[in-house]
Amino acid sequence: MLRVGEMQELEIVKTVEFGVYLIDPSGNDMEERVLLPGKQVPEGAECKSHIEVFLYKDSKDRLIATTNTPKLTLGQMAVLRVSQVNKMGAFLDWGLEKDLFLPFRQQTRKVEEGDEVLVALYLDKSARLAATMNVYRYLKTDSPYSVGDEVDGILYEDSDNFGMFVAVDEIYSAIIPMNELFGNLRIGDRIHGRVTKIREDGKMNLSIREKSYVQMYPDMEKILTLLDSYQGVLPFTEKASPEVINRETGMSKNEFKRAIGHLYKEKKIVIIDGRIKKAEED
C-alpha cells in the first residue's frame, strides 16, 4: 500500500523517459504505483531496485514520490519557517520543492513571512498533507524531567484562562500558568524555564522566572532603572492593583512588594503620599 506522508521503501517496476514508476513490493495491488521523477532517480537504479522515498501530492494534486527527506512526516512535529503568506493561508519550508500549506483555521495566531512556528503534519479531508499549529494532541507526557530541572521550549498556544502552552524540547507538553506570565510573550517565542510541577497526567508546569530569592535582586535593579525613567518618582506603590504593577514593571504584585521592601530597608527609596521616590545619595 502506498502511504502518503511517510518514508517508504518501494520497488522500481517500470522505467520511462521522465522517471520511474514504483510499487509497494509487499502489497497486493501491483497496479497501484507512483512516479519518481527522473531527476530524483538514483544513479544506477533499474527495474527491481528498491528505493526509499517520501510520498506527497504535487501542485496538480497528483501523488508523487521524492528521495528528498522532509523535515517532518505524518503525525510528527517540527519548527518550520514561513516562506509565504497569501489570501489562502501560509506556506512553510519543509525541505521539499512544494511548500507545506498551513491553513488560516489551523493557525493559533496570524503568522507572517519569516516566522518560525511549531507545527504537526496531518491529512486534511481531501487526503492532502497540511500543517497545523494546534499541536496539543501530538505532544508527549512522558518527559524525563523533574521538579527544579531547567528546560527549553517553544510557545505554541495561549489561553486567557490557563496561561501559555509550551512544547518542551518541541515534543513534551507543558504550560506556563497565568500567575507565571510576565513580559511580552507571543506564540513562536522560545523560552528557558524551570519545572515547578509535574501533574498527574504527566504534563509540566513551568516558571520562566528565577526562584524568588534569586529573582529579587534583578527585580530591585529593574525598579531603580524604572525610577530613573520616571525622573526619580513612581506614581504608584505596592498598594496599586496587580494589573497596574504588571503592566508597568512586568512583575507580580508579590514580587514588586518584595523588591520594594528590600530597597526601602537598604534606604535606596522612600515612600511618600502614594508614590515611590528614589532616595537622595549622601
Q: What digits encode the pLDDT tens for the residues 68-95? A: 999 999 999 999 999 999 998 999 999 9
Domain 7-66: homologous superfamily in CATH? Nucleic acid-binding proteins (2.40.50.140)
3-state secondary structure of 58: coil
pLDDT at 146 over 90: yes
pLDDT above 90 coverage of the chain, percent: 50
Q: Give 30's pLDDT tier (boundaries 50, 70, 90).
A: low
Which element (helix H / strand E) includes 165? strand 163-168
Domain 139-207 and domain 212-278 have a common topology: no
Rounded average pLDDT over 46-60: 89
Q: Which residue has the higher pLDDT, 273 or 170?
A: 170
Beta-carbon contacts of 4 under 8 Å, excluding residues fewer than 6 positions away, are 55, 56, 57, 63, 74, 123, 127, 129
Q: What is the pLDDT of residues 164-220, one digit of tens each?
A: 999 999 999 999 998 787 767 889 999 888 899 999 999 999 988 755 445 677 888
Q: Name which of 251, 221, 222, 224 is nearest 238 in CA terms.
A: 251
Beta-carbon contacts of 267 under 8 Å, excluding residues fewer than 6 positions away, are 279
Q: What is the pLDDT of residues 103-119, one digit of tens each?
A: 999 999 999 999 999 99
Which element (helix H / strand E) includes 269? strand 269-272
Calpha distance 232→31 (Å, rounded) = 81
Q: Which residues of 169-190 are buried (b: 16+ CB within 10 A; e: fewer)?
A: ebbbbbbbeeebbbeebebbee
Calpha distance 235→181 (Å, rounded) = 24
At residue 78, the pLDDT reads 95
Domain 77-136: homologous superfamily in CATH? Nucleic acid-binding proteins (2.40.50.140)
CATH topology of domain 139-207: OB fold (Dihydrolipoamide Acetyltransferase, E2P) (2.40.50)
Q: Name which of 89, 96, 65, 47 is nearest 3 in CA terms.
A: 65
